[in-house]
Amino acid sequence: MIALTLAQLAEAVRGTLHLPAGARDDARAELTVGGEVRVDSRLVAPGDVFFCQRGEATDGHEFARSAVDAGAVALVVERELDIPVAQVVVADAHDALTELARFVVARVRELDRLRVVGITGSNGKTTTKNMVRTILERVGQTVAPQGSFNNYVGAPLSMLGIDESTEFLVIELGAAARGEIAHLASIAVPDVATVLTVGLAHVGGFGSIETTRASKAELVAALRPGAVAVLNADDPRVSSMADGTVARVVTFGLGDGADVRARDVETGITGTTFTLEVGGAEHPVALRLIGEHQVVNALAALAIAHELGVALDTAIDALESMQRAEKYRMEPHETADGVTLINDAYNASPDSMAAALKTLALLTRDGRRSVAVLGEMAELGDHADEEHDRIGRLAVRLNIELLVVVGHAARHIHNAAGLEGSWDGESMLVDTVDEAYDLLRGEIRAGDVVLVKSSNSAGLRFLGDRLVEASEAR
């Protein structure tokens, strides 16, 4: 975070500064703080500012003393605490975090060098964010969130990572309800923003896919004249957002009409290749990432980079250097037993599950056995049974040879597969991750390609780790 005095900190968050006894003077109010902003006391280091936020299960005020013991020089609190440290009292610590991020971004923007990239979509946000960061780091100091810091707490924390030398800020914007993306976009209005897809991810919270679309559209609606909206031409719900923004629109996709287009897409166990077409020129691209769906993410990243003035050769070289999108996202492992295991169990929606299964089918065209280990797709609400059923039937149509379904919540995948009489494969349903581990240890063999896919809450990502570790221990 940029250096601020305690007085400036209080002003930025619209709070009242309280100095410890014996230090109530203007000099102490001008003490400069320039550490990190933390909401987790376990991460506090000397010089940091700790925000005491209240959550559903915890209250950050209970951890304030631990934060001070770890070196926090100031607290942002909703009530003054009996702790001898500078405290800024605010009405709501969540709102205060937002206001501080807004203040810091505005202050850095005054230097006229910072450009902000916003990324949203039902699928692919984190991968595309990592791609954009990898590209932009080649040409300037770049700040982007680690992992999936994309909600009303994580996004402001990511924004607060900038300082006066930052040239690019990449923010990932997620939402569970209408208005959340609009709120996040208002803190640091992007210069370039992309909407990747609109699908059923988190539809349980939104209620319908049209509500999901309206939420994602909030990002491009927030753009100002002179900004650029980068939209997926292959997704009609996304491409129609062009009518709801004053920004200039650039499209990407596989179709002929896209401004940034891919053709001749090929995917294999070592990566994915395609020919990039932009501005009348062609460029070969060879990603190390697995899956045709990664091409859509790459096109968005390349379109963003192009609009920011990055040379395409530089951008392509950066993408080709990426060994994985993110841990637990189509992450390949070659085990000591000769099994190829793809751990993609950080998150799952109907669209991403379908894309992963299609990739598995493509990777086993050479005769290797396809094994899909699938768990629950969470947050689908009333659509859950239907969408799990659809995935089971898709696995059959793709001729996946062995299907292992884990957990009662995912049972409709197993049931639907079993109802497809023409299928030569086999489906097994187990209750727990431990049961799946025991089954797979005896079932998988050299040459198999094993996909592990579920929502984060199902815990299958750790199953993938265990299978790799067990192979190495033999």
Domains of the chain and any CATH numbers: 4-92 (3.40.1390.10), 111-320 (3.40.1190.10), 331-473 (3.90.190.20)
Local confidence band at 22 (pLDDT 50, 70, 90 cut-offs): low
Mean pLDDT, the chain, integer = 92
pLDDT at site 146: 79
Local confidence band at 387 (pLDDT 50, 70, 90 cut-offs): very high
pLDDT in tens, 105-131: 999 999 999 999 999 998 899 999 999
pLDDT at site 207: 65
pLDDT at site 115: 98
pLDDT at site 205: 58
pLDDT in tens, 393-415: 999 999 999 999 999 999 999 99
pTM for the full predicted model: 0.88
Least confident residue range of 194-203, 219-228, 286-295, 427-436? 194-203
Local confidence band at 460 (pLDDT 50, 70, 90 cut-offs): very high
- Per-residue HEC secondary structure of the chain comes to CCCEEHHHHHHHCCCEEECCCCCCCHHHHCCEECCCEECCHHHCCCCCEEECCECCCCEHHHHHHHHHHCCCCEEEECCCCCCCCEEEECCCHHHHHHHHHHHHHHHHHCCCCCEEEEEECCCCHHHHHHHHHHHHCCCCCEECCCCCCCCCCHHHHHHCCCCCCCCEEEEECCCCCCCHHHHHHHHCCCCEEEECCCCCCCHHHHCCHHHHHHHHHHHHHCCCCCCEEEEECCCHHHHHHHHHCCCEEEEEECCCCCCEEEEEEEEECCEEEEEEEECCEEEEEEECCCCCHHHHHHHHHHHHHHHCCCCHHHHHHHHHCCCCCECCECEEEECCCCCEEEEECCCCCHHHHHHHHHHHHHHCCCCCCEEEEECCCCCCHHHHHHHHHHHHHHHHHCCCCEEEEECHHHHHHHHHHHCCCCCCCEEEEECCHHHHHHHHHHHCCCCCEEEEECCHHHCHHHHHHHHHHHHHHC
Local confidence band at 424 (pLDDT 50, 70, 90 cut-offs): confident
Local confidence band at 202 (pLDDT 50, 70, 90 cut-offs): low
Local confidence band at 299 (pLDDT 50, 70, 90 cut-offs): very high
Local confidence band at 25 (pLDDT 50, 70, 90 cut-offs): low
Local confidence band at 379 (pLDDT 50, 70, 90 cut-offs): confident
Least confident residue range of 78-82, 229-233, 378-382, 403-407? 378-382
